[in-house]
Amino acid sequence: MKKYLVLLLAALSLNAFADCDHVRNDFDDLYCLNKVYIQTDKDLNESYGKLAKLLDADGKSKLKSGQLAWIKDRNDQCSYKNERGFFVNLDCATNTTRERLQFLQERTRECQSAGCMKSKL
């Protein structure tokens, strides 16, 4: 068991050196897509927090319900489960997350310049 775990960890760490400009196989591609998705999701979370700080309680409530609806929609569009397992389309998830990130950034700019418009949340 320990040998297997060490080999598995060594194999995973090799992917850390994947050249995302020149992927060699599907696993390198998956690794690179995942890196992009993780950063996009991190940016989304930071933008959400920044916007939430600008809102009153009612605005935060609307933002949260909108975010939960968006998460459900993203999951419905970009993933599925069947008897073979759970599948996620990382291109879809990344693009959908980028769109939501842009939406949150636009709302933040509005709040900072013209005031928060809760109707757009």
Question: pLDDT, tens digit, for every residue of 64-73?
Answer: 999 999 999 9
In a domain, 15, yes or no: no
Q: What is the pTM of this model?
A: 0.80
Q: Which domain holds residue 50?
A: 29-120
CA 83, 68, 72: angle at the middle one, nearest 5?
25
Domain count along the chain: 1
Q: Does a structural domain hold residue 1?
A: no
Looking from the CA of 15 toward its CB, the CA atoms found within 13 Å total 16
Average pLDDT of 55-80?
A: 97
Per residue in 8-21, pLDDT (tens digit) is 334 444 445 567 88
With respect to residue 21, please indicate whether it lies within any of the assigned structural domains. no
Q: Which residue has the tokens 């418009």?
A: 117
Q: Percent of the chain at pLDDT above 90? A: 74
